[in-house]
Amino acid sequence: MPTFLFDKIIFGPVKSRRLGVSLGINLLPTSRKICNFNCIYCECGWTQSKGIRGEKLPTRKEVYEALDRKLAEMKKNRQVPDVITYAGNGEPTLHPEFPGIIDDSISLRNRYFPDAKIAVLSNSTAITKPEIKKALLKVDQNILKLDSAFDLTVKIHNQPGVNVKVAKLIKDLQLFRGRLIVQTLFVRGSFNDKKIDNTSSEEIDAWLKALKKIKPSEVMIYTISRDTPEGGQLEKVPLKELKRIATLVNDLGIETQVSG
């Protein structure tokens, strides 16, 4: 199935299912995805490079200048963003200047659109690094992935290129003391002759127990909405079912946002 890459540092603003009017920032190459996950549902396609090895990345200065120009243009045109979002072609926290870039974006946001939020979409793999955790705690929407409470499911769905043990991940997420949003993508189907389904009773029960421990400020629940790289073997989870799952999270006293 066709997938896509972002071809600029700054993209949008676009209407995001989860974030509203979002101005996106891509800290990774425009020619290919770099990520330490290889999620079977990723709209950017398969991961060709798990880490950064001599890759040409936008510098902190280049990101600053590009964001400065774009926000000035939007201010002039009275085009107000709800959120400035770090996402793009892979995992944004892999950029070696990520903490400084976050500081710059906060400064520019405060200058142009002080009511806009800053969001980071991350796969959670770098949260044990003190400088990354500190940067994530500075943003308004620290959105961290947890697709399952089972190691095997994460291995199949996310295909991590680093060692991910969910029990350890849950403990690391607890250390944010609620200053995070958990993001979970629910999907069904098959991949490499393996059944794909993180909506079973067993999966949901374990995931809810994890959320009780993590105590996030919010949970974002969603499913696939664009083409995926695995060849059309994955299926959307119906909105009605996503809302049912959200009700179970609400029963824990945790706010939810659902995107079908």
Strand (E) or helix (H) holding 122:
strand 117-122
Identify the pLDDT of residue 1: 39
Cα distance between the two ends of the chain: 20
Instruction: Report CA dihedral (1, 18, 110, 28) to the nearest 10 degrees.
Output: -20
Instruction: Report CA dihedral (185, 186, 190, 194) to the nearest 10 degrees.
Output: 90
Cβ partners under 8 Å of residue 162, min gap 6:
36, 50, 125
**Residue whose entry in the numeric block shows the structure tokens 């993508």:** 185
Of 235, 237, 184, the C-alpha closest to 207 is: 184
Identify the pLDDT of residue 108: 98
Q: What string of pLDDT tens digits covers the 260 residues of the chain?
A: 345 566 689 998 888 767 788 999 999 987 778 899 999 999 887 877 656 665 688 999 999 999 999 999 999 999 999 999 999 889 999 999 999 999 999 999 999 999 999 999 999 999 999 999 999 999 999 999 999 999 999 999 999 999 999 999 999 999 999 999 999 999 999 988 889 999 999 999 999 999 999 999 999 999 998 777 766 789 999 999 999 999 999 999 999 999 97
User: Which superfamily is assigned to 10-259 in CATH?
Assistant: Aldolase class I (3.20.20.70)
**Are residues 21 and 15 in contact, defined by beta-carbon separation less than 8 angstroms?**
yes
**What's the distance, CA 11 to chain centroid?**
16
Phi/psi of residue 119, each to 5°? -125, 150
Buried b (16+ CB within 10 A) or exposed e, 6-38: beebbbbbeebebbebbbbbbbbbeebbbbbbb
